[in-house]
A and B are shown apart, each in its own frame.
Chain A
Amino acid sequence: MSSFKAHSVLPGFNLALGFTLLYLSLIVLIPLSSLFFKTATLGWGGFYDVATSDRVLASLRVTFTTSFVAAIVNALFGLIVAWVLVRYKFPGKRIIDALVDLPFALPTAVAGITLATLYAPNGWLGQYFAAQDIKVAYTPLGIVVALTFIGLPFVVRTVQPVLADVEAEVEEAAASLGAGRWDVFRRVIFPAIFPALLTGFSLAFARAIGEYGSVIFIAGNMPYISEISPLLIVAKLEQYDYAGATAIAVIMLLLSFSLLLAINALQWWSSNRGAR
């Protein structure tokens, strides 16, 4: 046992570890395990039926692809926003900085209704899309719009501090050694912020998968086309099918968990490579 406990100069390791475990159990593990227990009442056969039903598979595809696309969009544009906020000085910067957090503060249902109003065929923005024969609200594209909105702060807020830490001297040194601007970005800045960017990406992605409130108002909710998995969970609850509902939740959880694990592995690999 003694080898298990790493000695630290700081006192209070036992207390801190105990507290961490207790806190995690209360907040995360107990609710999650009750999810698994409820699902277990279905048995393997029942779980398999839910997991492989056409409707559930289609909704998972919709949920994960729209979340992925939204997270990619956020990674790209969130990086640009973070870049602008860190590297440039301009009037009103504080206000723009505060705006970034707004999607966190706004109730998601309000966000969904607002976006649906904007992007509906008769909305401010929707009418221009409609003129080009592009439908945004009530299609999977609408879901991406909503998920991009709610995911933006994750990327900006994770990349921003890391980017601020990249010292200008390093870039100057690289430039003085003959690196062009693109090389400086690619070889000096990007490797430094890549782990943070990945973290922001995975946070935005994970957040989008579980999103219900904002999506429901803009998705149109057509089965097989724009029906997200959380809606199917609600539909099951309406039928008092608690076990079926938790089964979908467990599937989503397992998928998200393995994806996040893969992203973590990628992050670990990239930071190891960077250390060399």
Chain B
Amino acid sequence: MKLSKLTTALTASALALVLSSNSFGADITLLNVSYDPTRELYQEYNNAFAKYWKAKTGDNVSVKASHGGSGKQARSIIDGLEADVATLALAADIDAVHDKANLIPADWQSRLKQNSSPYTSTIVLLVRKGNPKNIKDWSDLVKPGVAVITPNPKTSGGARWNYLAAWGYALKNNNNDQSKAQEFVSKLYVNVPVLDSGARGSTVTFSERGIGDVLITWENEAYLVKKEFGDDKFDIVFPSISILAEPPVAVIDKYVDKHGTRKVAEAYLEYLYSPEGQEIAAKNFYRPSDAKVAKKYEKQFKKLDLSITIDKTFGGWAKTQKAHFADGGVFDQIYTRK
């Protein structure tokens, strides 16, 4: 822990050095601190943005991206990693950047369109080829004899979306009865044989170790697995209803002002909403918000009932985090000793 803190501090100061020495030139460096599955997305987007910015202003911008677990990345920023922008898995992690370190204003999420989420995603089910256990919907995950792979929501941001999607499904099918929902989710976790600490870990457990009948995962991760292992190994099952996952983006005010990079950092995030940015997101299996691009990729993104949302169904992240995932919360109660 200490060492990683030191290294982040060192990287940050090295970065600051680079930035200050270049502030008069036309070379700009941005640091985008992001989460795990966006690696491929931002690799492509960073090049596209550099080209766009060069054409527009003549400046050379090189964007460095750091990837890791969403919560860990937020902690690095809080502990002093001087990120210009944060693009994380859930709003709660960017909220923490305000709450714990006050690097951004409280109303950060209203500064950009669609809750500052240029692209969205959802949670789907990945099963083995031919769907041998005949899994069609969330209700099939609580059946005896079905092994479900999902990471620990206390250590993984993605796993929180999984958990909440299942909870939302149970609410909708039980007239919003919270205790029925808890019962449903408890039964689901009885079927979980391995709780990995992160989303990628669960993907590996399911796809490479051959454990479990169904993997609950991000839609983009499910497509990525199919791409990686070939179409003949896995099938994607779209449940009757799922959650609208909004991975938000934000400029880290304190650091862009310190680096003098506010203008380019803001443009970097805004360009995500442009047709080109949206197209890159769609190509990487994130659902675009732009209507035209969405139309173009209609075939790829199955129309789903995504009426479960963190704000409408659960009353926002702060409340959800406290009720479900804090120590002693609902998730811990599911795992009390029997």
Residues of A that sit less than 8 Å from B by CB? 31, 53-55, 58, 113, 116-117, 120-123, 137-138, 216-217, 220-224, 231, 234-241, 244
Contact = CB atoms under 8 A, between A and B. Distances in A.
Given A31-B2, A55-B332, A220 B337 contact: no
Contacts of B155: 231, 234-235, 238
Given A238-B71, A240-B75, A220 B194 contact: yes
A29 to B, nearest CB: 13
B336 A238 contact: no
Interface residues of B, number: 31
A122 B205 CA distance: 11
Interface string B164-186: 00000000000000000000000
Contacts of A113: 204
Given A120-B210, A221-B197, A224-B337, 11 more contacts: A137-B209, A216-B196, A216-B201, A220-B193, A231-B197, A234-B155, A239-B154, A239-B325, A240-B78, A240-B99, A241-B327
A55 B152 CA distance: 15
A234 B197 contact: yes
A120 B325 contact: no
B335 A224 contact: yes
A258 B251 CA distance: 48
A80 to B, nearest CB: 32
B209 to A, nearest CB: 4
B73 to A, nearest CB: 11
B326 A239 contact: yes
- Interface on chain B toward A: helix, strand, loop, or mixed SS? loop
Contact of A221 (B96, B194, B209, B325): B194
Given A221-B194, A224-B337, A240-B96, A235 B210 contact: no
Contacts of B337: 54, 58, 224
B100 interface: yes
A217 B332 contact: no
Interface in B46-81: 71-72, 75, 78
Contacts of A137: 209
25 contacts: A31-B2, A54-B337, A58-B337, A116-B209, A117-B209, A120-B209, A123-B209, A138-B194, A217-B201, A221-B195, A221-B196, A222-B193, A222-B194, A223-B195, A223-B335, A234-B197, A236-B327, A237-B1, A237-B72, A239-B325, A240-B75, A240-B96, A240-B100, A241-B327, A244-B327
Contacts of B100: 240
B154 A238 contact: yes
A244 B154 CA distance: 14
A203 B71 CA distance: 33
B154 A216 contact: no
**Interface hub of B154, B201, B336, B337 (most chain A Cβ within 10 A):** B154
A216 B1 CA distance: 16
A121 B332 CA distance: 28
Nearest to A53: B327
Nearest to A56: B327
The list of the 7 closest CB pairs from A to B, nearest first, reads A120-B209, A122-B210, A223-B335, A235-B154, A238-B71, A221-B195, A220-B194
